[in-house]
């Protein structure tokens, strides 16, 4: 492979050198050798000093079905990582948990009181209504059978979102707790198969502080079996 690369580059150099003797040189200093070198130096310095697009936006993929049906396993999404707008209930955010980054939905904001009763979120003393949509079947090969698909909408959320319910689980009930300044409560849409704020650190997000919210998910751009798409979140 090394010999092939050397021959390829060597041939390209020789052919370019022979061809350059038959090409009329373009006018202007920019096309001189030092102009080309200068442009290379400027490009290199700019690449090192200016923030890259990755510091503003970052690609993620879902490693589990904790956010199903909104995000399925291996779904690809884009998140905004800087200059985040004021966070609202229902936003999907990137949360730092140890060395891992979780994709979760914001359910509680600072000063909110939040509880869970029979799988229903209770915000500031009022239950968040859920509407049954029928059954949801996991992807082929998954061990779990069909589960209930429900629709809910948090106060202040722009549009409703869907969640999954696998039946009675221990995490369906949680005593009320009040969030402090700069504290947030996150939930997975697949409520019975998500490690979220109902579980403490270090193996789950626990109550999330402002500094642990790294970004906000904008849209899904790829889904296995469907391909490229602009999926709303």
The share of the chain scoring above pLDDT 90, in percent, equals 62
21 pLDDT more than 70: no
- How many residues comprise the chain? 233
pTM for the whole structure? 0.76
Sign of CA dihedral 143, 146, 152, 157: positive
224 and 188 within one domain:
yes
148 pLDDT more than 90: yes
136 and 88 within one domain:
yes
* pLDDT tens string 192-223: 999 999 999 998 999 999 999 999 999 998 88
Domain count, the chain: 2
162 and 65 within one domain:
yes
Across residues 22-47, what is the average pLDDT?
A: 70
Which of residues 49, 64, 79 is at a domain's end?
49
Q: What is the predicted pLDDT for the residue at 24?
A: 64
Q: What is the predicted pLDDT for the residue at 8?
A: 86
103 and 16 within one domain:
no
Cβ-based burial of 48 (10 A; exposed 0-12, middle 13-18, buried ≥19) = exposed
73 and 22 within one domain:
no
63 and 40 within one domain:
no
What is the CATH number for 141? 2.10.109.10
95 and 32 within one domain:
no
11 and 70 within one domain:
no
149 and 86 within one domain:
yes
113 and 24 within one domain:
no
Domain residue limits at 112 = 53-231
* pLDDT tens string 100-145: 999 999 999 999 999 999 999 999 999 999 999 999 887 665 556 7
Spatial contact of 150 and 163, defined as CB atoms under 8 Å apart: yes
179 and 93 within one domain:
yes
81 and 39 within one domain:
no
Q: What is the predicted pLDDT for the residue at 40?
A: 78
């Amino acid at each position: 492979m090394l010999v092939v690369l050397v021959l390829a580059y060597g041939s390209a150099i020789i052919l370019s050198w022979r061809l350059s003797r038959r090409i009329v040189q373009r006018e202007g200093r920019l096309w001189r050798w030092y102009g080309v070198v200068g442009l290379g130096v400027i490009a290199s310095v700019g690449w090192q000093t200016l923030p890259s697009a990755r510091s503003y936006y970052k690609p993620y993929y879902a490693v589990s079905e904790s956010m199903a049906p909104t995000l399925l396993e291996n779904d690809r999404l884009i998140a905004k990582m800087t200059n985040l707008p004021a966070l609202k209930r229902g936003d999907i955010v990137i949360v730092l948990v140890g060395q891992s980054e979780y994709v979760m939905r914001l359910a509680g904001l600072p000063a909110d009181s939040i509880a869970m009763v029979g799988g229903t979120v209770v915000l500031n003393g009022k239950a968040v209504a859920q509407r049954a949509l029928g059954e949801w079947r996991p992807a082929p090969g998954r061990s779990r059978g069909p589960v209930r698909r429900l629709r809910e909408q948090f106060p202040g959320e722009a549009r409703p979102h869907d969640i999954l319910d696998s039946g009675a689980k221990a995490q369906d009930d949680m005593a009320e707790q009040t969030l402090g300044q700069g504290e947030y409560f996150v939930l997975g849409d697949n409520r019975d198969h998500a490690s979220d704020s109902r579980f403490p650190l270090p193996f789950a997000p626990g109550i999330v502080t402002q500094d642990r919210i790294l970004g906000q998910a904008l849209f899904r751009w790829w889904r296995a079996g469907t391909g490229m798409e602009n999926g709303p979140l």
